[in-house]
C-alpha cells in the first residue's frame, strides 16, 4: 500500500482504521476477520490511506504499544462520553504511537468538575441543585453551573430530557454548540448532533437563540432544528422520540441511518451501514438494551444482511 496523506478522511473512516489496527496487533485475529479487513481496504481508497497513516506512525516505534493488548481498553476510551470526538480530533494528526498511548492510558469517561455523563448503553437520572430533573441518554455528557444568580447547563454530547422547575425570577439556560435554549419552566428534549442541535418542547414554550442569528419562541409540542445561524426546520414533535427513557427505540418511517445512529450509543465498537441503505424507511418498536435483537428484527424486516465479523465490528449491507 502506498501512503496517501493528501486524501481527506471522515471521522468514521479514521475510527475504523484505528480499530482495525488495534485488532490486527492484538494477536487474536480470526481468518474471517482478516478477510473482512482486506475487503474493507479494497472498498475505498481512503480506507487504505487511513490505515497507512497509522501504520507509518507505528514504524517509528521499536515496539507497538498495541501488540498483545486487548481491543477492550481502546473501545472503552472511544465509546466513553466525548471520547469519540476527542479521539477523532487527534487520531491521524498525532501518529499511531501517540494515539495509542493517549487512548489506552486515559481513564475513559471520568467527568470533569460540574459534569454529568453516561457511558455506552447507560441511561441516568439526576435531580439538579434547583430541583429540576435531568435524564441523559447513552453516551451523553453535560456540564452544570448553579449559583444564586443563574442556573445553567451545557450539552456537550448526546441527548437529554430536562424537567425545569418553574421560577419566574430566574431563567434556565441550556447551551449547545449552536446556541442557547432558555425558559422559566417546562419540559424539553435536546440533542446535540454534528453541527446541529435538535429541540423538542414537551411541555411549555421555550426560546431558541442561535449563536449568530435571530432568536425565536418555540411553542409547546414542537420540534426544531437549528445551527449557529438560524432555525432551519420546524415541525410537530415526534411523540415516540422519548421512548428511550424506557429503553425503547420507536420508529415511524425513520431512515435506517437514524436508527443505526441511535444503536451506536448502545453498542461498543463499530456498526457500519452501506450508504445506499441509509434512507430505507423503518417502522417499529425496538429494544435499545438488546442491540443484537434489534439488529435481527431489522434484518427480518428490511432487504439487508447483517455481517458480524467480531463482537466489535458489524456491517450492514444489502441482502
What are the domain boundaries of the chain? 11-105, 115-238, 247-318
Which fold would CATH assign to domain 115-238?
Jelly Rolls (2.60.120)
C-alpha cell at 169: 425570577
Pairing of strands 151-164, 141-146: antiparallel
Per-residue pLDDT band for 63 (boundaries 50, 70, 90) equals very low
Residue 6 is predicted with a pLDDT of 44
Closest to 51 in 3D by CA, of 27, 11, 15, 89: 15
User: Tell me: the pLDDT tens digits for 256-274?
Assistant: 999 999 999 998 777 888 8
User: Tell me: the pLDDT tens digits for 184-222?
Assistant: 999 999 999 989 999 999 999 999 999 999 999 999 999
Express the helix, strand and coil content of the chain in percent, nearest 5 each. Answer: 30, 35, 35
Fold match between 115-238 and 247-318? Answer: no
Range in 86-90, 163-167, 200-204, 312-316 the model is least confident about = 86-90
- Name which CATH class applies to 247-318: alpha beta
This prediction's pTM: 0.72
- 124 forms beta bridges with 136
Residue 54 is predicted with a pLDDT of 64
The answer to whether residues 126 and 134 touch, using CB atoms and an 8 Å cutoff, is yes
**What is the pLDDT averaged over residues 136-144?**
94
What is the DSSP secondary structure assignment for residue 162, as one 8-state letter? E
Residue 2 is predicted with a pLDDT of 36
Amino acid at each position: 500500500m502506498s501512503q496517501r496523506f493528501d486524501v481527506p478522511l471522515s471521522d468514521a473512516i479514521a475510527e475504523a482504521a484505528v480499530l482495525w489496527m488495534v485488532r490486527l496487533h492484538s494477536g487474536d485475529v480470526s481468518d474471517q476477520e482478516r478477510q473482512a479487513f482486506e475487503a474493507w481496504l479494497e472498498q475505498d481508497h481512503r480506507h487504505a490511506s487511513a490505515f497507512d497513516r497509522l501504520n507509518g506512525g507505528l514504524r517509528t516505534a521499536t515496539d507497538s504499544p498495541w501488540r498483545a493488548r486487548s481491543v477492550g481498553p481502546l473501545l472503552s476510551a472511544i465509546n466513553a462520553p466525548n471520547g469519540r470526538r476527542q479521539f477523532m480530533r487527534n487520531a491521524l494528526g498525532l501518529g499511531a504511537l501517540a494515539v495509542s498511548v493517549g487512548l489506552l492510558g486515559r481513564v475513559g469517561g471520568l467527568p470533569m468538575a460540574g459534569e454529568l455523563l453516561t457511558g455506552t448503553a447507560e441511561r441516568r437520572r439526576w435531580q439538579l441543585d434547583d430541583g429540576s430533573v435531568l435524564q441523559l441518554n447513552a453516551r451523553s455528557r453535560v456540564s452544570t453551573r448553579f449559583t444564586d444568580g443563574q442556573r445553567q447547563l451545557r450539552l456537550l454530547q448526546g441527548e437529554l430530557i430536562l424537567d425545569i422547575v418553574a421560577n419566574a425570577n430566574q431563567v434556565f439556560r441550556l447551551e449547545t454548540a449552536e446556541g442557547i435554549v432558555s425558559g422559566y419552566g417546562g419540559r424539553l428534549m435536546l440533542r446535540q448532533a454534528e453541527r446541529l442541535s435538535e429541540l423538542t418542547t414537551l411541555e411549555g414554550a421555550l426560546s431558541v437563540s442561535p449563536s449568530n442569528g435571530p432568536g425565536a419562541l418555540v411553542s409547546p409540542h414542537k420540534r426544531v432544528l437549528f445551527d449557529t445561524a438560524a432555525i432551519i426546520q420546524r415541525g410537530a414533535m415526534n411523540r415516540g422520540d422519548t421512548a428511550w427513557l424506557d429503553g425503547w427505540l420507536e420508529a415511524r418511517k425513520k431512515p435506517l441511518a437514524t436508527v443505526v445512529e441511535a444503536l451506536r450509543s448502545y453498542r461498543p465498537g463499530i456498526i457500519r451501514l452501506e450508504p445506499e441503505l441509509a434512507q430505507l424507511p423503518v417502522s417499529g418498536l425496538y429494544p435499545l438494551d438488546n442491540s443484537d435483537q434489534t439488529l435481527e428484527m431489522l434484518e427480518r424486516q428490511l432487504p439487508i444482511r447483517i455481517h458480524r465479523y467480531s463482537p466489535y465490528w458489524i456491517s450492514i449491507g444489502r441482502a
